Structure 1
Amino acid sequence: MFAVVVTFQIKPEAISAFMPLMTQNAKTSLAEELGCLQFDVATDISRPGEVFLYEIYDNAAAFEAHLASAHFKAFDAATRNMIASKSVTTYGRVSQ
């Protein structure tokens, strides 16, 4: 298991354009990437420019495949100028 947490700060004028692209990226990841097990997109009405992602992959290689996918590259190019800041944190499963 490989977890990815992403927090975006979206420019105020871009939020309405960003969200459909973000949700489509999540849907496509789940539908087309065998190693993508979960991809949640969340927001909080009190912080309208903040978008939180919680993604679960089989392993780090599956996440790297996500980053190399055509649909992610298209999303990244389309939204690059909409993002004020972005934080990505990854986690691996602790052996039990």
Structure 2
Amino acid sequence: MYAVVVTFRIKSGHISAFLPEMMQNAATSLATEPGCHRFDVCTDEERSEEVFLYELYEDRAAFQTHLNSRHFVDFDTRVQPMVAAKEVRTYDQVPT
């Protein structure tokens, strides 16, 4: 498995527009990308302008497929003006 964690800081006043876009991106990824196994969208009321993603892919190539997908490229273009900062971290599963 290949884990991806993303932290978004959303510009003030944009969270209500950002979240439906993010939820649709997550749902489409899970429904249409065979290599996408998990896509959680998380928030915390104490950090109201932060969105945390936890994604699991079959491997690095599956994540690259996600990044190149039409739905992700369209999503990224739509939300870019709403995003103040974005941090992406990736992790390979340690073999057992």
Q: TM-score range by the shorter chain?
A: over 0.9
**Following TM superposition, by how much is the alpha carbon of 1:70 offset from its aligned partner in structure 2, in angstroms?**
0.4
**Following TM superposition, by how much is the alpha carbon of 1:95 offset from its aligned partner in structure 2, in angstroms?**
1.2
Q: Counterpart of 2:83?
A: 83
Moved over 6 A (4+): none
Q: Counterpart of 1:48?
A: 48
1:24 maps to a residue whose letter is Q
- How many aligned positions are there? 96
**Secondary structure of residue in 2 paired with 1:20:** helix
Q: Could you tell me the percent identity over the aligned residues?
A: 57
**Following TM superposition, by how much is the alpha carbon of 1:12 offset from its aligned partner in structure 2, in angstroms?**
1.4
**Secondary structure of residue in 2 paired with 1:34:** coil
Unaligned runs of 5+ in 2: none
Q: Within the alignment, does 1:67 sit opposite 2:67 as a pair?
A: yes
TM-score by length of 2: 0.99
What is the RMSD computed on CA atoms of the aligned residues?
Answer: 0.4
Unaligned runs of 5+ in 1: none
